Amino acid sequence: MNKSESIKELATALNHAQAEMSGAKKKAANPFFKSRYADLNSVVDAIRQPFCDHGLSYSQFPVFKDGFVGVETILMHSSGEWISSELLLPMVKQDPQAAGSALTYARRYSLQAIAGIPAEDDDGNAASTPSKAKAVDYSALIAKYKSLDEAGQADAWGKMNPQQQHAVAEALK
């Protein structure tokens, strides 16, 4: 984290804004986990007016480093005080679709974290909590990807969702 020399005014304004903010609403659907989650628009909606009312704003800039992609999020106050932080995510595949997906994910989580707003993330919880549901068998998908890769048609990777890409990447290690 980086910050201006003083963050007294920013901290006071953020405290007031947080008192007015509710959690980000789970409006988006994750068909893979059959759950709902708070997307980037929901996070922005949750902070927009309280930030405005208390002299707060933010900017997010794409960051690419050593096969990682993410954002630097800067939280600013009308006094000129600021704090910033980077969130970088590993890239399983180096292509524009994967980068765009990772950037959106990083923007959402970074903004939610720097603003201090809650939102239960069903897709994150499902990925880290043992499920009572039957485990997904990726063996056919992995076999298909291997055959496509050997035939020089690995562009099918871009058609997989991130969970499928992760499963294939783990299996191919």
- DSSP-derived letter for residue 118 is -
pLDDT band at 126 (very low <50, low <70, confident <90, very high): very low
pLDDT of residue 125: 47
Fold (CATH) for 2-130: Double Stranded RNA Binding Domain (3.30.160)
pLDDT surpasses 70 at 160: no
pLDDT of residue 74: 98
- Determine whether 110 is exposed, middle or buried from the number of CB atoms within 10 Å of its CB (0-12, 13-18, 19+): buried
pLDDT of residue 130: 47
Please tell me which residue, 71 or 172, carries the higher pLDDT value. 71
Mean pLDDT computed over 131-135: 46
d(CA 118, CA 7): 22
Mean pLDDT computed over 30-49: 75
d(CA 90, CA 104): 14
pLDDT of residue 39: 76
Domain extent listing, the chain:
2-130, 134-173
pLDDT band at 117 (very low <50, low <70, confident <90, very high): confident
pLDDT digits (tens, 9 = 90+) for 77-90: 999 999 999 999 98
pLDDT surpasses 60 at 129: no
Q: How many CA atoms lie within 13 A of 51 on its CB side?
A: 19
pLDDT of residue 7: 96
| Residues of the chain above pLDDT 70, percent | 60
